[in-house]
Amino acid sequence: MTAQPVLPDGLVAIVKRECETCRMVEPVLSAIAATGAPLAVWVQDDPTFCVELGAVHDTDLAVSWHHDIGTVPTLISVRDGAEVERTIGWSRDEWRGITGMATLGADLPPTRPGCGSMSVDPDLIDGLRARFTGDVLVSRRVELSATEDEFEALFARGWTDGLPVVPPTRERVLRMLTGTTREPSEVVAIAPPDLVEMTVEKIAINAVMAGCLPEHLPWVIAALEAVCNDTFNMHGVLATTMPVGPVIVCNGPGTRAIGMNSGINAFGQGNRANSSIGRAVQLTIRNVGGGRPGEVDRATHGNPGKLSFCFAEDEDASPFPPLSVARGIEPGRNAVTVFAGEGPRCVVDQLARTPEELAASYAACLRTVHHPKLVIGFDAILVVSPDHGRILADAGWTREQLVDALDARLGTPGRDLARGAHGMAEGVPAHLASVESLPKFRPGGLLVAFAGGGAGLFSSIIAGWANGAIGSDPVTRAVGT
Amino acid sequence: MGPANQGITILDPTGESRPSTRTPLQRPGSVAGLTVGLLDISKPRGDKFLDRIEELLVERGATVMRFKKPTFTKPAPVDLRHEISISCNVVIEALAD
């Protein structure tokens, strides 16, 4: 880190030769200097540019970086060591105003836009940020030798999910941190299973590794806040022998802004935001929390969604309000809903043309969640596709009507569910055999979301895990900045 | 990143915590006279397993105390762990299905 360079009193100009507007104002700067007014010129690129004006080369761009130069030329008025005002590019009126020289640049056009400052050049900015940002990152530095392949080195240290990760250099982590207003040192959650403080910095490191962009970071943070608490019970979701992981359903205008996929192949591969946000959550649990398969993660089979299972709802096409709104978040806010879920399974019904027919098919498939004779103990998400959604929308069905219609079709006499009934040992305890009808899902245990491509009379079921206080409840949280 | 002929420096993605080193207690030669805690983690039929263990321990002269976690999906509450630690010489944690 370098100390912030102080600008001298008077006028300060920052220019580069490559910029046509800078070259155009060179005679203007000469005219200012000729009046004897104090003028300091910094040149970003060619040290011979404006050399007759005593220009100084901003060799490492420290002046430009520390004084937030986004455009050249920039003309700044400094008094008592503090900036009073600045103008960017060429504006005859503004340059005359700052200099107090009423005839300045009479032969030039009234305005001309400037060029990008080298200090915001996308190829340079990460290095500058790393050089000039204070020592805000406290994570242990790990030096890899030149003979070590960095991707293999990360595998060797046990820091990946089985796929290569992006090496988390200081430059990349600092760039990732530009995606949030939160301090790197802020503790977001206590990470299970090792109960370690999970800071924004550690999340950013894992987000880099997962392939996130800075704009994905607030979503990763929100999802981690949502899973690391007693309600969602990430510890149990990790440790269970069942094949579940955190399924992340994203809502709000931000899902479009960061390019999330809610359409064709929404659960699948190919979208960076979907893939990397879910992956970053799991990598953070693995690396910060110490939750690794075969150790605390005891899943019998697991599921491929434990690499990442994250998608957006298609709010524009949905016949229902967003899932987040149905769960108490105000409309228009970005939010994540986390659900302890297994992989998705398909519901095929290409012949239903009424919502009642469709509900009957949904119910028949939902009944099989985990076991047809196990009820109430597991939640599920039904993800309705556009083709199926149209049938519901044409009939004016609300989400609540759909859930009610499913509940009405999912009641089962206790005698059919009791242990031993129908030749299956599995089932509900014998004392429930006398109950006239048992629901498949507890109240609120069936969530309905809307996503998928525009063609396909299929919907999807994501089955859950042990629900409620003994297991996990879904959690919805607004996404911060 | 450093010049091309140097390796890169990365940041540690882990929690950087280390488990504190503890020396295991000496294995008792006999359970006679010891208080043995049996922790039921609330898995189905864990109690059946622990009932039998209790019988065997009592036969061998141990005093048995039974404890139960509220749910197998979450770590044992701090208070429960403390209670076990101050009232037992030995603890057996049961998993069953």
Averaged in consecutive runs of 10 residues, what is the pLDDT profile of chain A (481 residues)?
79 96 95 93 95 92 93 96 94 95 94 95 87 86 93 96 97 96 96 94 98 98 97 96 97 98 98 98 97 94 97 97 97 98 98 98 98 98 98 97 98 98 97 97 97 97 96 97 91
Residue A120 touches partner B, C-beta closer than 8 Å? no
Distance between CA atoms of residues A391 and A446, nearest Å: 20
E strands, A285-440, in order: 310-312, 335-341, 344-348, 378-384
Pairing label, strands A39-43, A56-57: parallel
Q: How close, in Å, is residue A68 to chain B by CA atoms?
A: 23
Q: How close, in Å, is residue A290 to chain B by CA atoms?
A: 8
Identify the CA nearest to A40 among candidates A63, A70, A68, A65. Answer: A63
pLDDT of residue A396: 97
Identify the CA nearest to A199 among candidates A218, A221, A214. Answer: A221
Kind and range of the H or E run holding A461: strand A458-466
For A:129-168, CB contacts with B below 8 A are 137, 139-148, 150, 154, 159, 167-168
Q: How close, in Å, is residue B18 to chain A by CA atoms?
A: 10
- Hey, are the CB atoms on B74 and A233 less than 8 Å from each other? yes
- Given the cut 0.85, state whether the ipTM is greater than it: no
Distance between CA atoms of residues A75 and A69, nearest Å: 10
Q: What integer is the mean pLDDT of B38-67?
A: 91
Write down the pTM of the prediction: 0.85
- Residue at a domain's end among A103, A132, A161: A132
Nearest to B14 among A141, A146, A287 (CB): A287
Chain A partners within 8 Å of B72 (Cβ)? 470
Is A293 exposed, middle or buried (CB count within 10 Å of its CB: 0-12, 13-18, 19+)?
Answer: middle
My answer on whether A84 and A49 are in the same domain is yes
For A:265-294, CB contacts with B below 8 A are 283, 287-290
Identify the CA nearest to A308 among candidates A449, A210, A192. Answer: A210
Residue B44 touches partner A, C-beta closer than 8 Å? no
Nearest to B11 among A168, A194, A466 (CB): A168
A123 within a domain of the structure (yes/no): yes
Chain B partners within 8 Å of A471 (Cβ)? 71, 73
Identify the CA nearest to A446 among candidates A388, A391, A345, A367. Answer: A367
For residue B72, the chain A residue with the least C-alpha distance is A470
- Hey, are the CB atoms on A471 and B17 less than 8 Å from each other? no
A146 within a domain of the structure (yes/no): no
My answer on whether A385 and A277 are in the same domain is yes
For residue A174, the chain B residue with the least C-alpha distance is B11
A386 within a domain of the structure (yes/no): yes
Return the domain boundaries, chain B. 35-94
My answer on whether A100 and A242 are in the same domain is no
For B:61-80, CB contacts with A below 8 A are 70-75
My answer on whether A70 and A195 are in the same domain is no
CATH number where A52 lies? 3.40.30.10
pLDDT of residue B5: 56
Residues comprising chain B, all counted: 97
For A:235-254, CB contacts with B below 8 A are 235-236, 239-240
pLDDT of residue A2: 54
My answer on whether A73 and A204 are in the same domain is no
My answer on whether A287 and A395 are in the same domain is yes
Domain that holds residue A219: 153-418+433-478
My answer on whether A175 and A119 are in the same domain is no
Q: How close, in Å, is residue B35 to chain A by CA atoms?
A: 29
For residue B77, the chain A residue with the least C-alpha distance is A230
Q: Which residues contact A12 (CB under 8 A, 6 or more apart)?
A: A39, A40, A41, A42, A75, A76, A77, A78
pLDDT of residue B1: 46
pLDDT of residue A141: 94
What is the number of structural domains in chain A? 2
Select from B6, B8, B16, B78 the residue whose CB has the most chain A CBs within 10 Å, as the one to mutate to test that interface. B8
Q: What integer is the mean pLDDT of B46-62?
A: 92
Residue B3 touches partner A, C-beta closer than 8 Å? no
My answer on whether A194 and A335 are in the same domain is yes
A460 within a domain of the structure (yes/no): yes
